[in-house]
Amino acid sequence: MSKELDLDFEFEDYDPLEAKPISKKSMVIFFVIDTSESMRGKKIDDLNRVMSEIIPELAGVGGSNTELKYAVLSFSSGCKWETSEPFIVDENNKWKDLQAGGITDLGMAFEELAAMLSRKKFLKAPSLSYAPVIFLMTDGYPTDNYKKGLQILKSNNWYKYGIKVALGIGDYFNEAVLEEFTENKELVVKASNTAQLIKLVRTIAVTSSQIGSKSMTVAKDDNEEFSYEDVQGTKEEEMVKTVQDTVNDDEFIDLEYEDGWE
């Protein structure tokens, strides 16, 4: 038996009878971006360029039944929401260039993200929503207590059932930290240069939005109930396949011989 299952959440006090009926469901992709001093120069310029191209490309990715939104959290000495709230891609897709400088307060960014993964904050919607996508990008090592922040983040159910992907930029990022964040080493990838950065950001942003904003058909036995874990696991498997197919593709591997960042 198969059943169409939407990954909708009611983790907090929420009365769906009070919601106004709408035709679209909401999904947010969170970009969590390192803007520390080590990103200054070509890295941040390259990232700004690819993000300015990618955000408009997300328009319509979720299909006619999904209102796709994006939010940007930068972190260096502290952290800052570059978007005052999640922006609807179809209505506001102009990228605001980021500036680099300072240290790498990743733990603080994790805590701030956890605080906003709530229906009372950045996941407000008049109807039930898909779990979010969280896309972390960094080129270095945390300079604060990231474990404390990550522990707080992992206690959030929106994080638990969302799609998490991490991109290490350059050669000096802490891969173990990124694996702790994604909880799946196959969803941690590396960009050695501009060409690979562009390829990975575009692929991950577009594909994760497509996967995250679609309903899944899961085959189960007649007497077995469907769970959030079933759908989360299926979507994660799809994301892993896309990521691994990308990094193992001959064309992507050939890009490794392009000039990297100093």
The fold adopted by the segment(s) 2-7+24-256 is Rossmann fold (3.40.50)
- Residues sharing a CB contact under 8 Å with residue 133, sequence separation 6 or more, in sequence order: 27, 28, 29, 30, 162, 163, 164, 165, 208, 209, 212
Measure the CA–CA gap between 92 and 98, rounded to whole angstroms.
17
Q: For residue 42, how many C-alpha atoms fall within 13 Å in the half-sphere facing its CB?
A: 12
- Provide the token pair at 78: 């502290």
Q: Hey, where are the domains in the chain? A: 2-7+24-256
pLDDT value at residue 2: 41
| pTM of this structure | 0.89
- Residues sharing a CB contact under 8 Å with residue 125, sequence separation 6 or more, in sequence order: 25, 26, 119
Predicted confidence (pLDDT) per residue in 20-50, tens digit: 445 688 999 999 999 999 999 999 999 999 9
Please give the angle made by the CA atoms of 5, 11 and 16, to the nearest 5 degrees: 70
pLDDT value at residue 40: 97
User: Is 97's pLDDT higher than 50?
Assistant: yes
Predicted confidence (pLDDT) per residue in 196-239, tens digit: 999 999 999 999 999 998 775 444 455 555 577 888 889 999 99
* Beta strand 133-138 pairing with 216-219: unpaired
